[in-house]
Amino acid sequence: MGYSPSMQTDNPHGPIWLSVGEASGDLHGAELIRRLREVQPEASFTGMGGSAMKAEGMNVRYSMKLISLVGITEILGGLPRILLLLRRIRRTLEEVRPRAIILIDCPEFNFRIARMARDLGIPVYYYISPQIWAWRSGRVKFLREHVRRVICILPFEKDFYERHGMAVDYVGHPLMDVLPLERLDAMAVDENLVGLLPGSRNKEVSTLLPEFAGAARILRRNHPDLRYVIVRAPGMERERLLALWDSDIPVEIVEPDSRYETFRSCKMILAASGTVTLETALIGTPVVVAYQVSPLSALVARLLVHVDHISLPNLIAGRKIYPEFIQERAQAGHLARAAAAWLDEPDAYAGVKRELIELRSMVGDPGAALRAARIIIDDLAELGF
């Protein structure tokens, strides 16, 4: 068992605090709230989140947009504001006295919330465990000292945490609950439609979307019938996307609510690395992955990151399914060549589609969020919370 609170919590019937920092965490948090309420109907929820969690009845005291940063230099630039935010959250935790805190990914911020929780005697659960197996694996000691249980969603994570003496549960991936796979599998693929997913943060969108536009111009030479669609991330203004699409090629922008249907209808997608690459993989749509951060962030990553791939499908499979273009290689020419290989070589495209079917079977059965909810509620019952 990980950290055990010293029973300082004086509000055993208080709300459960959830803390997320990005759009994918908001979706997973919303599903977890649904399942927690299924296990314990009287439970209430508060903390940091987004629109999806708010729609499930969570009292969102702090918007996740306050910490929507990426990369080392970007985090340093926003540090004074984040430190002020952390002081405010500490005061709120002291006032609210939640009976538990559930952290969802976002370790750079959530580790600080875990430290506060330990000081206040509040039990902490980490759902969507941080990817410290990829870098800074020494931080597992921090988790042992501050978190009661780690609840992981990737099959290879359980062994990692067990080797380091953590109380850990593998529940499968929550996307298997969120994705309407039976309905999506029945949809037809538009052979001339290419999707564009430049990310959810301003920095990555401003970096990658012009490169995606450049790739479209290159592809037009041999594939003039291709059409393009951008799936707008929550909080990303439509006007900003259009301004960054530096191309005379028409582009359609669709809303986040129809993203899964759009993913399925695309022949392929150009996407920023992130949870969306696993969404597309489970839906069965091939993706060319791109990612760029600041030069300093990239230098730090090269020194510290200990994995062979950056996209979740490749990490889960243990091999390259999706081509990845990182930093200076995330340029229009490279992206266009990778996309053209699938357009011009039907056997290569069919091979990727087969690998995505195999990957879906590796991720696990539906029910991850419900299994996580039961683990948390049962453990709180043991504590008398």
pLDDT in tens, 307-358: 566 688 998 888 999 999 988 888 999 999 999 999 999 999 999 999 999 9
Look up the pTM and report it.
Answer: 0.75
Give the model confidence (pLDDT) of 78-96 as tens digits.
678 888 999 999 999 999 9
pLDDT for the residue numbered 194: 98
Give the Cα separation of 233 and 306 in Å (integer): 29
CA distance 133 to 25: 19
- Which residue type, as a one-letter code, is found at position 280? T
pLDDT of residue 266 exceeding 90, the answer is yes
End-to-end CA distance of the chain: 17
Q: Are 368 and 176 in contact (CB under 8 A)?
A: yes
Of 297, 271, 296, 292, nearest to 283 by C-alpha is: 271
Q: What is the pLDDT of residue 307?
A: 54
Domain with CATH 3.40.50.2000 in the chain: 16-174+367-383, 181-363
Residue located via tokens 């990239």: 298
Q: Which two tokens stand for residue 120?
A: 């206040």
pLDDT band at 274 (very low <50, low <70, confident <90, very high): confident
d(CA 97, CA 376): 17
The fraction of the chain above a pLDDT of 90, given in percent, is 63
Task: Give yes or no for a contact between 85 and 67, defined as CB atoms under 8 angstroms apart.
Answer: yes
pLDDT of 137 higher than 70: no
pLDDT confidence tier of residue 299, bands split at 50, 70 and 90: very low
**Interval 3-14 mean pLDDT:** 61
Q: Which two tokens stand for residue 269?
A: 């997608």
* Confidence bin at 364 (pLDDT 50/70/90): confident
Query: Residue 108: is its pLDDT beyond 90?
Result: no
Return the pLDDT at 67: 81
Q: Is the pLDDT of residue 301 over 60?
A: no
Percent of the chain scoring above 70 in pLDDT: 87
Match 């401003």 to its residue by tokens.
206
pLDDT digits (tens, 9 = 90+) for 194-230: 999 999 888 889 999 999 999 999 999 999 999 999 9
Tokens representing 129?
Answer: 């465990």
Largest CA distance in the chain: 68
- The radius of gyration of the chain from alpha carbons, rounded to an integer in Å, stands at 21
Rounded mean pLDDT, 25-31: 92
- The pLDDT, as a whole number, for residue 300 is 45
State residue 6's pLDDT score: 52
Q: Which of 254-258, 305-309, 371-375 has the highest mean pLDDT?
A: 371-375
Instruction: Report the pLDDT value the prediction gives residue 304, as an integer from 0 to 100.
Output: 46
- Looking at residue 7, its pLDDT comes to 45
**Predicted local confidence at residue 2, as pLDDT:** 58
Homologous superfamily in CATH for domain 181-363: Glycogen Phosphorylase B; (3.40.50.2000)
What average pLDDT does the chain have? 88
Cβ 340 vs Cβ 149: under 8 Å: no
Question: 101-110, 133-142, 340-349 — which one is most confidently predicted on average?
Answer: 340-349
Of residues 177 and 270, the one with the higher pLDDT is: 270
| Domain range 16-174+367-383, CATH architecture | 3-Layer(aba) Sandwich (3.40)
Q: Is the pLDDT of residue 378 over 60?
A: yes
Report the alpha-carbon distance of residue 322 to residue 320 in Å, rounded: 6
Confidence of residue 73 (pLDDT cuts 50, 70, 90): very low
Which residue's entry shows tokens 């306050």? Answer: 66
- Asked if residue 70 has pLDDT above 60, the reply is no
Give the pLDDT score at 52.
94
The region of weakest confidence among 6-10, 17-21, 65-69, 166-170 is: 6-10
Q: What are phi and psi of 224, to 5 degrees?
A: -70, -15
Alpha carbon dihedral 43, 25, 317, 358, in 10-degree steps, equals 70
Helix/strand/coil (H, E, C) string of the chain? CCCCCCCCCCCCCCCEEEECCCHHHHHHHHHHHHHHHHHCCCCCEEEEECHHHHHCCCEEEEEHHHHCCCCHHHHHHCHHHHHHHHHHHHHHHHHHCCCEEEEECCHHHHHHHHHHHHHHCCCEEEECCCCCCCCCHHHHHHHHHHCCEEEECCCCHHHHHHHCCCCEEECCCCHHHHCCHHHHHCCCCEEEEEEEECCCCHHHHHHHHHHHHHHHHHHHCCCCCCEEEEECCCCCCHHHHHHHCCCCCCEEEECHHHHHHHHHHEEEEEEECCHHHHHHHHHCCCEEEEECCCHHHHHHHHHHCCCCCCCHHHHHHCCCCCCEEEHHHCCHHHHHHHHHHHHHCHHHHHHHHHHHHHHHHHHCCCCHHHHHHHHHHHHHHHHCC
